[in-house]
Structure 1
Amino acid sequence: PLPPLHFSHKHTILPVLTDRHFLMTNTGITMKKLSGLDHLRSLAILMVLFYHYRMFQHPHWLDEIMSFGWTGVDLFFVLSGYLISYPLFINMAAGKSISLPEFFIKRFFRIIPAYLVVLAIYFLFPSFHEREALPPLWKFLTFTQNFGFDIKNLGTFSHVWSLCVEEHFYLLFPLVLAALLKFNVWRKAGILLAVLFIFGIGIRLYCWYAFIAPHLGEDNFFITWYKHMYYPTYTRLDGLLAGVSIAALFAFKPAVKARVTQHGNAILLLSLAVLAGAWFLCEDQETFSASVFGYPLVAAGYGLAVVAAVSPSCILYRYNSRVTALIAKLSFALYLSHKGVIHLAQPLLAKTGLAPKGTPMFMACLLVAGLGAFTLNKAVEAPFLRLRQRVLEQRKKTAHKKMMMITNDSAA
């Protein structure tokens, strides 16, 4: 077992992974949520939503302001890396074991039910398709759709490539942590993170010269670039690793966290400066510099934003908004369903007289997408999250009974 770290009751507030970002202090769990993370999650889904809306008829101004909107998914990666790994690191720091069954139960009930419902809609109702055709069903069921992905001919439900990346992370990350604990080399995890960052740059360099550079100037160059650079898991680890790195630093170095989080607003400004640099670097996504070095720069910028969001001194932390809290709550349902819903809604709304490329149509489609996400959340997500809670409570009761039986047998 690992030696426990002792935290100062005065300075330490530890965010734990729940669907509402509740806080855990030394005196127990409080009902206060981390508003800063809600703000970032709502920003991420709105960036994705606005960016994807450009595949439909849309206002011209949307093209001008959303050229960087593709990084909304990178913000999701950083948030996921932080929120998934932080409670696991806290357990490790306290000398506790990691419960893999509990981890996978939480992830399964949070993701799979809503995902399968929307996937079934796509395969059962072709009118829901926003593009030409779907990839094979087995690729969706095995979360391998992001490998060798042909965006031109199989572009329907394409956005779940990022869910594939996260599922690979959910599967491998706790297993890596368990191995580090088993072989008592967890203190070298920082070296592993650095190696993985370097690996990301190295693998993108290889992909560029081996698969992409030979096709420069070709008419379908963008298909090659997306297939080998944008979608594969092994080229998109930077955001997740940034979130994991922040979580590790804060969990194992609480004194560092206490000092850093005193400067939340300054860190937020630094985040904006780094993201501005990333914007200029990635102005043309398909260039060599953007492909190889853009992703770590974007991850660094959003990583700093996460640090700011969990800093009590930051405006993001202090400002509470019901609007962003609601958007954050619906973010996964919005992510899954928005393309199909907008594809159906826009022609119907056009019959009311709304101009297809007008701003009122844009706002109306966003509202309909929100209603669709709200329906999915209430009909699928919420019931399965309640079921998850019952399953976890039953596991605890079973484990407690077994412990009592072992204790009684030992006493006898």
Structure 2
Amino acid sequence: MNAPAKLVSPKQEQIGGLYLAPLDGLRFLAFLLVFFHHMPQFMHSQVLTTAHNYGWVGVELFFTISSFLFFHLLNAEFLKTGSISVSRFFARRFLRIYPLMILFAIAMLVLYGSPDGNGYFRLLGIALFLDNAVTWFKGYNGSIPNTAHLWTLSFEFQIYLLIPFVFLAYRRYGRTAFLVGMGAVFAYSFLARMVSFGLGAQHPIVWVTPFLRPESVLAGLALYIVRPQWHWGLSLGGTLIAATLFLSLTPPWASSMGSAFSYPLGALMFAGLVDTGLRTPVFTSALSSAPMCYLGGISYGLYVYHFLLIPYAIGRVATMQGGANDPSHSPGDYWLSWAVALTLTVVAATVSYYAFEKRIAQYKRRFEAVEGRSP
């Protein structure tokens, strides 16, 4: 059984052993939540209906993992070199996200065209990491088929623009002042979200705007800074309580209560989950298993390709069954479509990783001060 990945104080942290394998397993779990969310709603199962309706929260888990990991690696770079390179941080994030994102969007535009004639405008929004802002006015990206989910990458990159400066503020002002500052940001975002909802901001304006719902990012930063020393069972218990309360709410775009509390409850739920995954031997072992680490390692490709391959798989299954496939009502059709879609997505992400992404990753290492991946 793998030992839990310990979180230690910055003074004790060593430069070696920076790779936290359970985070890869958690990345795959985050993808699965989103995958269920984008599958057709299965009408006759409460569990699958819940997974469909609330699976959007997997994006929040991605954000929590990323912000935690960025502080983990930036702190290691600071301890090793006495500073951090902001330009190299931006270069690493750009090389990780941009090549696959833009090539996929271009491929979808070339293959499927633009149903509303605004394809090049939407492509410009994606290319400039502004697709979430364009969504304010045009809604989800229907101008380029199979790319509506890419707004999250613009959201992420806008957060990345602040992360190194936020880290430097943490190093300069210390833990206590920084946590107070994060509390102020939380209070501001909560009030701004309520005002926006009260003024009738249409979905998905709040959902796609970082400064209106940054709780999952704040949770990852707070988890790294606090370094919980309490028993991991408290984190697990907090996760279960937050999850119960979260599932009792409507989605955040459906009611004022959902808009107010879904994001902070999701952040608490996933901060507890990340802490539990890193410090609980049985969960650490499961999340660090070879299959979970592999699938987490290709999770970016899984995320990019699944939105294309779910409807493709449903169509292929329908063709094999003579047009009788109905995954929204038949459990057999649902699970067959689910399995085919997931298999195709894993295959596509695997080919993408070894044929393309891995080459970019090798170049990206030129900008790394510390090694954050497994050898």
If the length of structure 2 is used for normalisation, what is the TM-score? 0.82
| 1:234 partner letter | F
Q: Deviations over 1:105-160 (max 9, x none)?
A: 22122211111221221221117x89997562211111111121533673741112
1:130–1:294 distance in 2 versus 1, CA, 3 Å: farther
Shift of 1:285: 4.6
Output the CA distance in 2 between the equivalents of 1:172 and 1:64: 34
Pick from 165, 175, 185 the counterpart of residue 165 of structure 2: 175
Pick from 1, 5, 20 the counterpart of residue 34 of structure 1: 20
Output the CA distance in 2 between the equivalents of 1:79 and 1:225: 25
Shift of 1:168: 0.6
Query: What is aligned with 2:212?
Result: 235
Query: What is aligned with 2:299?
Result: 331
Pick from 152, 175, 185 the counterpart of residue 162 of structure 1: 152
Q: How does 1:26-65 map to 2 (within 5 A)?
A: 26=14, 29-30=16-17, 33-54=19-40, 60-61=44-45, 62-65=48-51
| 1:318 partner letter | S
Contiguous gaps of at least 5 residues in structure 2: 328-332, 371-375
Asked which structure has the greater CA Rg, the reply is: 1
Shift of 1:102: 2.3
Output the CA distance in 2 between the equivalents of 1:59 and 1:382: 40
Give the 3-state SS of the residue equivalent to 1:104 in structure 2.
helix
Pick from 269, 280, 283 the counterpart of residue 316 of structure 1: 283
Give the 3-state SS of the residue equivalent to 1:67 in structure 2.
helix
Contiguous gaps of at least 5 residues in structure 1: 1-10, 17-23, 213-223, 251-256, 396-412
Q: How many residues align?
A: 348
CA contact (8 A) 2:88 2:367 kept: no
Give the 3-state SS of the residue equivalent to 1:281 in structure 2.
coil
Identity of aligned residues (%): 23
Query: What is aligned with 1:343?
Result: 311
Give the 3-state SS of the residue equivalent to 2:83 in structure 1.
coil
Query: What is aligned with 1:355?
Result: 325
Query: What is aligned with 1:220?
Result: none
Shift of 1:328: 0.6
1:191–1:153 distance in 2 versus 1, CA, 3 Å: closer
Give the 3-state SS of the residue equivalent to 1:97 in structure 2.
coil
Q: How does 1:229-308 map to 2 (within 5 A)?
A: 229-250=206-227, 257=228, 259-260=229-230, 263-282=231-250, 285-308=253-276
| 1:99 partner letter | S
Pair 1:197 & 2:186 matched: yes
1:117–1:327 distance in 2 versus 1, CA, 3 Å: same
CA RMSD of aligned residues (A): 3.2
1:279–1:177 distance in 2 versus 1, CA, 3 Å: same
Q: Deviations over 1:207-249 (max 9, x none)?
A: 012234xxxxxxxxxxx222x2212122221100110111122
1:14–1:384 distance in 2 versus 1, CA, 3 Å: farther
Output the CA distance in 2 between the equivalents of 1:60 and 1:356: 12
1:240–1:160 distance in 2 versus 1, CA, 3 Å: same
If the length of structure 1 is used for normalisation, what is the TM-score? 0.75
Query: What is aligned with 2:74?
Result: 88
| 1:154 partner letter | G
Q: Deviations over 1:71-126 (max 9, x none)?
A: 11111111111111222245557892111122122212221111122122122111
Q: Deviations over 1:362-388 (max 9, x none)?
A: 211221121111111112211111122
Output the CA distance in 1 between the equivalents of 2:168 and 2:140: 40
1:180–1:269 distance in 2 versus 1, CA, 3 Å: closer
Output the CA distance in 2 between the equivalents of 1:85 and 1:91: 10
CA contact (8 A) 1:35 1:318 kept: no
1:376–1:102 distance in 2 versus 1, CA, 3 Å: same
Q: Deviations over 1:330-354 (max 9, x none)?
A: 2110111111123333323322227
Q: Deviations over 1:38-83 (max 9, x none)?
A: 232111000001111228xx67533344322111111111111111
Shift of 1:195: 1.1
1:299–1:64 distance in 2 versus 1, CA, 3 Å: closer
| 2:138 partner letter | D
Compare relative contact order (CA 8 Å, sep 6+) and give the higher one, 1 or 2: 2
Give the 3-state SS of the residue equivalent to 2:129 in structure 1.
coil
